[in-house]
Chain A
Amino acid sequence: MEEKLIDKLLLIGKSIPSLLIGALISIELALAFLGLGFVAGIPLAVGEVYGNKFVRNLVVLPIVEFFRSIPALVLLFLFYFGASYLKLNFSPFIAALLAMGFRSAAYQSQIFRGAIQSIDVGQMLAARSIGMSKFKAIRYIIFPQALRISIPSWSNEYATVLKDTSLVYALGITELMRQGRYIVARTFGNAILVYVVCALIYFVIVHLGVKLLDFLEEKYRLPGYESKKIDTRI
Chain B
Amino acid sequence: MNPKKLIQEFERTFLKMTHTILKVENLHKSYGKIEVIKGINFELKKGETKVIIGPSGTGKSTLLRCINQLDSIDKGQIWLEDIEITQSHADINQIRASIGFVFQSFNLFAHLTALDNVRIGPLRVKEMKEKEATKIAVEELKRVGLEDKKDHYPAQLSGGQQQRVSIARALSMNPKLILFDEPTSALDPELIGEVLEVMINLAKEGTTMIVVTHEMGFACSVANDIIFMDGGIILEEGPPEQIFKNPKHNRTAKFLSKITQLEGDKTK
Contacts and interface: CB of A to CB of B under 8 A. Distances in A.
A133 B100 CA distance: 15
Nearest to B69: A128
Interface in A59-106: none
B73 interface: no
Given A129-B70, A130-B169, A223 B96 contact: no
Interface string A113-134: 0000000101101111111110
B207 to A, nearest CB: 16
Residue with the highest number of chain B CB atoms closer than 10 Å, among A128, A130, A148: A130
A140 interface: yes
A141 interface: yes
B244 interface: no
A123 B112 CA distance: 12
B186 to A, nearest CB: 11
Contacts of B106: 122
A166 interface: no
Contacts of A222: 110-111, 153, 155
B159 to A, nearest CB: 13
B94 A131 contact: yes
B77 interface: no
Contacts of B154: 224
A132 B127 CA distance: 11
Interface in A130-180: 130-133, 136, 140-141, 144-145, 148
Contacts, number: 76
Contacts of A224: 153-156
B120 interface: yes
B153 A130 contact: no
B68 interface: yes
A130 B97 contact: yes
B180 interface: no
B70 A128 contact: yes
Contacts of A132: 93, 124-125
16 contacts: A120-B107, A122-B105, A122-B106, A123-B110, A126-B169, A129-B68, A129-B99, A130-B96, A130-B173, A131-B125, A133-B93, A136-B124, A222-B110, A222-B153, A223-B155, A225-B155
- Leading 8 A-B pairs by shortest Cβ distance: A224-B155, A131-B97, A122-B107, A126-B107, A129-B101, A130-B121, A131-B125, A131-B96
